[in-house]
Structure 1
Amino acid sequence: SWGTLATVGVACMGVGEGLGIPLEAAAGAVCVGAFFGDKISPLSDSPVITATVTDTPLMEGIKHSLISTGPAYLVSLVFFFVYGLEFSGGSTAESATYVEILSTIEKSFNLNPVTLIPVFVVIGLIAWKKPTIPTFVAGIAVAAAISMVFQDISLKNMMNYMYSGFSIHTDSTFVDKMLNRGGFTSMLSTIGLLMTAAIFGAPLRTAGVATVLLDYVQKFAKNSRVMAFSVMCLHTLFFMITGAYYVSYPVIGSMTKDMFPKYGLERKNLMRTMLDTGTGLAPLIPWSTTGSYTASTLGVANIAFLAFAPMLWLSIILSAVYALTGIGMAKIKDSGDNSAETVPAQAELARE
């Protein structure tokens, strides 16, 4: 999602501005698309981390996450279609910004269909379920080779772009602002935020804050519905404290994953819940690493685009409804009819 926001997301913000769409609405649409992909892509770190800490098969967990993310995404699409009708008055051709973006890019680059090959390489490797790192490397290598051939970029410049970001000077200040970014060094501030979050989260775990909260969950979890909802609230709270799901996923996931089978529920329920209250919630929280990055990259405050990003909070609402009603909760098939409602033995809880 972060890479999407900084590339296609920034470009879409420019196009939206050219079409006269409010920046808040454009930012909301960008976030819905970016974080939907983040939650369901096997290349994304979010599903990989949550699948790992919950001992859930990756693709099985992603499919299950669609029961909350999918409907929320469809509702968002309908909302944007209806909302977008207001801006369909045929002003596209007259929009100076829109025309400026297209004409400048056409003059500055060779827009050959061959340049789409890296996209299909990555999608193909995802479909074949290849490992994440080799898939990324393959996409980067193919893109670099094509850019050197069709955009007449030397290997030295290519390496410089990878390290310090792309650099170009066109006749359009707006396009320059949109394209001059990226590279390894542009992520150093983000890495600093992640390190700070990890440093902040470690004492919370060592001091037993998460353990105390978990004890309350176990105390009040009289059935599977209360347990699932309580774990969801626990992860939401811990994420909002630490501001980074890179911290909350391993901590809460490792501590609660064994509770679900004891209540007759599969662990992929936990994976879906954490994705909704971690990856989905992150862009809406200003002090989180993702929220800070989203607001600074798109140039729109988190609270400003909240109403225009229904998928992010609708999926959380759906997860809460599923947890409280038991609807959509994947149950362990051989656990018996009543196992999902049976409180674990006190000896088991004490042993944990």
Structure 2
Amino acid sequence: ATVTDTPLMEGIKHALISTGPAYLISLVFFFAYGLEFSGGSAAESATYVEILRTIEKSFNLNPISLLPVFVVIGLIAWKKPTIPTFVAGIAVAAFLGMFLQDVSLKNMMNYMYSGFSIHTDSAFVDKMLNRGGFTSMLSTIGLLMTAAIFGAPLRTAGVADVLLDYVRKFARNSRVMAFCVMCLHTLFFMITGAYYVSYPVVGSMTKDMFPKYGLQRKNLMRMMLDTGTGLAPLVPWSTTGSYTASTLGVANIAFFAFAPMLWLSIILSAVYALTGIGMAKLEEQPAEQEEGSRFNGQLAKE
């Protein structure tokens, strides 16, 4: 949202045109596929039982624990500012943690800073739960800073201009332009393996092209989400892909067919780009901005 100059909630709502159908289709797929295991025999493994029993023994499981989720969703529905919304969710969750789980304020603050820590009878559960906190995000923050630094030499060296000229060469209209930008971000992400790098670099390079072709920048936000966050678990050398494969113990290509949510959103986004369906357009769109050839001619005059 930041790199494309798009209001967060507005961008999220627009992203639903690709992630929404993909999510619904995935639900139908998992429901139909899950009927094969309706007896529960496949799920009743020793590890599954160990996880449930350990969590039930270690925590006070109460439906009230879902309150922070509803608080955040409610504030989003009321269109409240983003940061106060998340702060409210954190505050409610912290209060419930102290009340339901009998955690002191000092320990709660330590959990927020350095991550949750617990020692149970299950090493597997300890590995799942002992994580998080502000310090766990420092590597991500550092990566974002590195991405910003990495993007500056690309601009200064003229790499951005070369890539954009290449896109403009084929972008004779808004549909081709949008699809080319989508392919450009996919390629950049496949090379870097981190959308923390590809988002700021590609986003900053291409965000001004969309208004010139009569499209709103939230289209770019949606396409980068689909080809970044959506594609990440499927790319073995990406940070998300390597984490997913190592955690599940399954090769990335092996669960490709069983993760339709990921690639369906990419397919839908590509269809929208090529057909123009669902593409948010600017309210006032000069005729010469629609055609890429006219836009190039205008740039030459300027």
TM score, norm. by length of structure 1: 0.74
Measured in 1, the distance between the counterparts of 2:261 and 2:255 equals: 12
Cα 1:114–1:69 shift into 2, 3 Å: closer
Measured in 1, the distance between the counterparts of 2:147 and 2:243 equals: 14
**Residue-by-residue CA offset, 1:111-134 (whole Å, 9 max, x unaligned):** 233322222222222222222322
**Residue-by-residue CA offset, 1:76-102 (whole Å, 9 max, x unaligned):** 222212222222224379544333322
Instruction: Give the letter aligned to residue 205 of structure 2.
Output: M
Match of 1:165 in 2: 115
Instruction: Determine if contact 2:168/2:292 at 8 Å carries over to the other structure.
Output: no
Measured in 1, the distance between the counterparts of 2:222 and 2:76 equals: 20
**Partner SS state of residue 307, structure 1:** coil
Aligned mate of 1:329, from 279, 285, 288 = 279
Measured in 1, the distance between the counterparts of 2:236 and 2:156 equals: 26
**Residue-by-residue CA offset, 1:270-289 (whole Å, 9 max, x unaligned):** 22222212222222223334
1:130 aligns with 2:80: yes
- In structure 1, the gaps of 5 or more residues are 1-47
Q: Size of the alignment, in residue pairs? A: 302
Match of 2:21 in 1: 71
Measured in 1, the distance between the counterparts of 2:249 and 2:43 equals: 25
1:154 aligns with 2:101: no
Measured in 2, the distance between the counterparts of 1:184 and 1:300 equals: 29
Matches within 5 A, 1:160-309: 160-309=110-259
Instruction: Determine if contact 1:104/1:175 at 8 Å carries over to the other structure.
Output: yes
1:81 aligns with 2:31: yes
Instruction: Determine if contact 2:143/2:196 at 8 Å carries over to the other structure.
Output: no
Measured in 2, the distance between the counterparts of 1:351 and 1:239 equals: 34
Aligned mate of 1:349, from 264, 287, 299 = 299
Deviation at 1:215, TM superposition (A): 0.6
Instruction: Give the letter aligned to residue 273 of structure 1.
Output: M
Measured in 1, the distance between the counterparts of 2:145 and 2:252 equals: 22
Instruction: Determine if contact 1:72/1:315 at 8 Å carries over to the other structure.
Output: yes
Cα 1:296–1:200 shift into 2, 3 Å: farther
Instruction: Give the letter aligned to residue 219 of structure 2.
Output: N
Measured in 1, the distance between the counterparts of 2:237 and 2:44 equals: 39
Measured in 2, the distance between the counterparts of 1:186 and 1:332 equals: 40
Larger relative contact order (C-alpha < 8 A, sep ≥ 6)?
A: 1
Deviation at 1:212, TM superposition (A): 0.5
Instruction: Determine if contact 2:207/2:217 at 8 Å carries over to the other structure.
Output: yes
Deviation at 1:139, TM superposition (A): 2.0
The worse-fitting range, judged by mean Cα deviation, of 211-220 and 137-146 is 137-146
Measured in 2, the distance between the counterparts of 1:316 and 1:185 equals: 32
Measured in 1, the distance between the counterparts of 2:278 and 2:118 equals: 50
Cα 1:55–1:183 shift into 2, 3 Å: closer
Aligned mate of 2:66, from 116, 125, 140 = 116
Q: Percent identity?
A: 86
Measured in 2, the distance between the counterparts of 1:201 and 1:121 equals: 37
Provide the aligned C-alpha RMSD in A. Answer: 2.9
Deviation at 1:290, TM superposition (A): 3.5
Measured in 2, the distance between the counterparts of 1:220 and 1:94 equals: 54
Measured in 2, the distance between the counterparts of 1:301 and 1:218 equals: 38
Instruction: Give the letter aligned to residue 138 of structure 1.
Output: A
Cα 1:54–1:168 shift into 2, 3 Å: closer
Cα 1:318–1:351 shift into 2, 3 Å: farther
Cα 1:240–1:195 shift into 2, 3 Å: farther
Cα 1:211–1:229 shift into 2, 3 Å: same
Match of 2:270 in 1: 320
Match of 1:16 in 2: none
**Partner SS state of residue 293, structure 2:** coil
Instruction: Determine if contact 2:232/2:240 at 8 Å carries over to the other structure.
Output: yes
Instruction: Determine if contact 2:234/2:253 at 8 Å carries over to the other structure.
Output: yes
The worse-fitting range, judged by mean Cα deviation, of 209-218 and 91-100 is 91-100
Cα 1:349–1:196 shift into 2, 3 Å: same
Instruction: Determine if contact 2:236/2:252 at 8 Å carries over to the other structure.
Output: yes
Instruction: Determine if contact 1:242/1:248 at 8 Å carries over to the other structure.
Output: yes
TM score, norm. by length of structure 2: 0.85
Measured in 2, the distance between the counterparts of 1:113 and 1:226 equals: 49
